[in-house]
Amino acid sequence: MTRPVICLALLPLLAGLAHAAPQACDSVSLCNAAGTAAYQAGRYSDAAEAFERQLRRAEQEQDSSAARELALNNLVVTSLRLGQPGQARAWLSLALADGMQGAATRNNLRSVAAAVDYPKLAASLEGRYLRYAGAAVWSSLDITRQADGSYRANFAPLRAGGKVEEYGPAAIGTLQGALQGDKAYYRLASPELPNGCAVELLHEGLDIQVLEVIDQRCQAYGGFGISVAGSYLKVSAEPQPPRAPIQQ
């Protein structure tokens, strides 16, 4: 098996920083340093959290393309270390969608291509898909194949908002139902959708485009400003079970 080449897009560290305790951070550079320290100490989950904070801060800056590219590539390599090649593909897709072409992004193209099992992802519609919600959080779509060969979809949309670190997402939702159709086109059949509301899915290659009727009564499955429409990137051939309802 070819060993993936991982290009680590990290800023230089002070001596001994890699062995320091986890650091809080309130700027792009401090989050990068905290994540780098955790990464070099082998604390990859801590590194991912710091690099997510780094990305959130970079997204808030003007002229932040270079800062966002650094944060995204940090998240790519950390996801690979965590054994999450699909998540690495998702982070890399954000950099590519923004036209980022730095050395780390180009090198990580090879790393992700070597790590992701594309034939397994392409074998079936079944699996887990992610749509970026901003602020380093993702909405999800899980599609499960039923015993009769049909498919069932479970959407878990999020709206990040501006205080996701303090309070969590500004809005969340859940929408489930059977998928009716075949080949590339499917329509969601769900008792949660009133008459005149529709959610349609176009399966293109590995990924899925979702269209939705936008109307106040059609998005009653979640909080204010929620929607399932958008582009979903396949990250795993194994869907995750629906999350438990939030207790009031």
Q: What is the pTM of this model?
A: 0.88
| CA–CA dist 90, 75 (Å, integer) | 10
Q: pLDDT grade, residue 179 (50/70/90)?
A: very high
Domains observed in the chain: 28-116 (1.25.40), 123-236 (2.40.128)
What pLDDT is attached to residue 162? 84
Q: CA nearest 219: which of 165, 157, 170?
A: 157
143-154 tens-digit pLDDT: 999 999 999 999
Please give the share of the chain, as a percent, with pLDDT higher than 70. Answer: 88
Give 86's DSSP letter.
H
Give 245's DSSP letter.
P
What pLDDT is attached to residue 192? 94
Residue 55: phi and psi, rounded to 5, are -65, -40
In the structure encoding, which two tokens stand for residue 123, read together?
């074998």
What pLDDT is attached to residue 244? 58
